[in-house]
Amino acid sequence: MTAEIDDLIEKLEHARSQLNACLDKVAPQLELYPTWKVKQLMDHITGWDELVTTAFHTHSLGDTPALVVKHGINQYNKESVSIRKALSLEQSRQAFAASRAAVIQALREMPSEKLTQRFRAPWGGTCTVASVVEIFVSHELEHAKHIEDSSSNFVEPN
């Protein structure tokens, strides 16, 4: 495993640790965002992890990842959360952890020459493995910051 892959994995693990620490501080029934509680936030992130795992595997094989996010990020988020609606909170937690483990495993299996090659992002445009990781790290840290900054303002459901 290259030092670069180790660094990317460390960044992902750090961001997830920060997000988990924030999620652990709030009650699961509190609204973090309009219509989203802890479960829906985890389901949202799980969907992105699954998407990028598939893209990383496809890129590793030298193929072009499919353009999955065809109707915009907001629509993808809505669909991603919706398809996990029937999962219990515990099942969502398990999927949340498993999907990140799959991203990390895909990174470990990535041929080193693929790290710097540009490929089609499943949401459009092109990216590198490192740019995807940076997006994911930033995304999770933004959610953690939102939870941390807003925790006193969360709405208790009726």
Q: Please give the distance of CA 131 from its chain centroid, rounded to a whole number.
A: 14
Residue 16 CB-half CA count within 13 A: 20
What percent helix, strand, coil does the chain show, rounded to 5?
65, 5, 30
The tokens of 39 are what?
Answer: 């479960």
Average pLDDT rounded to a whole number, residues 30-43? 94
What pTM value is reported for the model? 0.92
Predicted confidence at residue 155, as pLDDT, reads 56
Average pLDDT rounded to a whole number, residues 62-85? 93
pLDDT digit string, tens, across residues 87-97: 999 999 999 99
Predicted confidence at residue 150, as pLDDT, reads 81
The pair phi, psi for residue 120, each rounded to 5°, is -70, 125
Going along the chain from its start, the domains and CATH numbers come out as 3-150 (1.20.120.450)
**Average pLDDT of every residue of the chain:** 93
Predicted confidence at residue 2, as pLDDT, reads 83
